[in-house]
Amino acid sequence: MSYTAPTKQMQFLLDHVVGMQEVASLPGYEEASPDIVSAILEEAGKFASEVLAPLNWDGDQQGAKWSEDGVTTPDGWKEAYQQFSEAGWNGLAFNPEFGGQGMPGLLSAAVQEMWHSSNMAFGLCPLLTQGAVHAIESHASDELKQTYLENMISGQWTGTMNLTEPQAGSDLAAVRATAEPAGDHFLIKGQKIFITYGDHDMTENTVHLVLARTPDAPAGVKGISLFIVPKFLLNEDGTPGTRNDARCVSIEHKLGIHASPTCVMSFGDNDGAIGYLVGEENRGLMYMFTMMNEARLAVGIEGYAVAEMAYQRALAFARDRKQGPVILGKNSDVAGIVNHPDVRRMLMTMRSQIDVARVMAYDCAAAFDFAARHPDDDVRARFQRRGELLTPIVKGWSTEVGVDLCSLGVQIHGGMGFIGETGAAQHLRDSRITPIYEGTTGIQANDLLGRKTLYDGGKGVDELLEDMRNTHETLSSSSIAAASKAKVALAESIEMIASASKKLIGEENQAVAASGAADYLMMMGFATGSWAMSRIVLASDKSNDAEFSALQIAVASFYFDKIAPHAKAHYLAIENSAADYYELDQAIL
């Protein structure tokens, strides 16, 4: 089967739940009119279904190939990327000054979902380029911006993020790559691992962003600088010229995303790879977080995007597969297993959590749009806190849930799901990386609890709770179906977030607080999910399609009844945290 973009659901959420019109009213986003937004969604859906989705299975089977001459992508990849760039998709949300279209990040989030649903391995390439562009635009000199941004935004060149090394893992304080000054540039030496699209044959140049240490740099993360290291050095006219001393020496053999080359990159095996300092020395980690935080939101989108494709495949199979007595089929022309209660439970579990994850990602993207463009300083600061608070939840919760949903997709297929040819297993394999890269769920949990909650005494959480209480108040006066059920679930969510946050902020034992971080993240996901579904309930009467409105109510009701209670389990786990478990001698484990 192919992929069908859920553009009707996307449009409904953008218009009536998240507030696309409010975002479009921000300075610089005036061209994002309702007609333009609708047209972009429709065209993106066509490109995803007609160009990218047909390559997904074959790309997985063929995989990327390494040789001493470089990495070769699967058949059709290069042509699809050329179409992608020529159609302007790569530049959708970038600065018009450098050739971008200047659309809001909120719209870009919706479009990105389509790339990852239809073909996650393909979508990873523009994802990394997007982050590299924003890092360069935010921190590099005007000369470097003029040199690199236009070709990266057009898609003529791609970008990468080179952080970790074999001995470092997630501990970037252990980075050993070096950068020796040599006139107007530096000579980079060292090895980087897990570099997505570190080498490929789709474009004429690749622009690596590399973390390295200059000779007098202090130890730890305070001594890391950021460098632009192009695959090909540029001629005076700006075209790619001599090959730089930077090469992919191998690619990884992975559980999933086989078509996306994950490279081991070696810089400076000979004289040193020529690199150009971004911004100031020793501020590289801060600069790289511009790219990393954006990538974390994008990976959260991947989490539910792959689950959306798994859901579509499972639903199609369940409608077609006939097995056993039909229990719910009295009023249906379809006699498939879709009418078995347990299969319906699994499908609704998938559908409801995908909708919640989609709203969370949209909220996060919209917050950063407001933080970047709103004319009022206080409003910008508030939305910056909101976006930063939501980022680890979107990245951590949506990817953890996404893996579970892709597993349910296999379960709905039964034994056929375990067979590769049905395609269900690929979604599970591909999705499994999403809770790991760009910071594992544990790292996201520590970030949520530490930097985003403890650091400011819970100010960002308090602002979130204020908005949730406003929605609760609106529910109190609503006569819409399921409003009363939403009100109860939302009240419980508000109480759990407030109580758990207070407990963890006041916890004196760091080990106990840290041990509750992952449960805190997951609780926040399920609890803010009740907020998302409550807003969907309030917006359900905005559609002129009665069946569509009824679907929104049914899915929301299912979430309140069957999914929202998961928050309570994580809340109780936080309440039950104790130091005993973490003081055991590791030898007895």
Query: Annotated catalytic sites, by residue?
Result: 438
In angstroms, rounded to a whole number, what is the distance separating the alpha carbons of residues 35 and 14?
A: 13
In angstroms, rounded to a whole number, what is the distance separating the alpha carbons of residues 214 and 377?
A: 37
Q: Are 85 and 158 in contact (CB under 8 A)?
A: no
Residue 264's SS3 state is strand
Q: Are 108 and 90 in contact (CB under 8 A)?
A: no
Q: 42: which 2 tokens?
A: 């429709």
For residue 315, give every residue at least 6 positions away whose Cβ sits within 8 Å of its Cβ, in sequence order, or none. 338, 347
Cα 305 to chain center, whole Å?
9
What is the total residue count of the chain? Answer: 589
Q: Are 559 and 531 in contact (CB under 8 A)?
A: no
In angstroms, rounded to a whole number, what is the distance separating the alpha carbons of residues 369 and 29?
A: 9
Instruction: Specify the pairing of strand 205-212 against strand 65-67.
Output: unpaired
Rg of the chain over Cα atoms, rounded to whole angstroms, equals: 24
Q: Which residue has the tokens 């969604």?
A: 41
Q: 127: which 2 tokens?
A: 């994802």
Tell me how far CA of residue 525 lies from CA of 261, 376, 408, 415, in angstroms. 31, 29, 19, 31
Q: Side chain identity at 51, as an amino acid letter? A: V
In angstroms, rounded to a whole number, what is the distance separating the alpha carbons of residues 548 and 554?
A: 10
In angstroms, rounded to a whole number, what is the distance separating the alpha carbons of residues 35 and 342?
A: 41
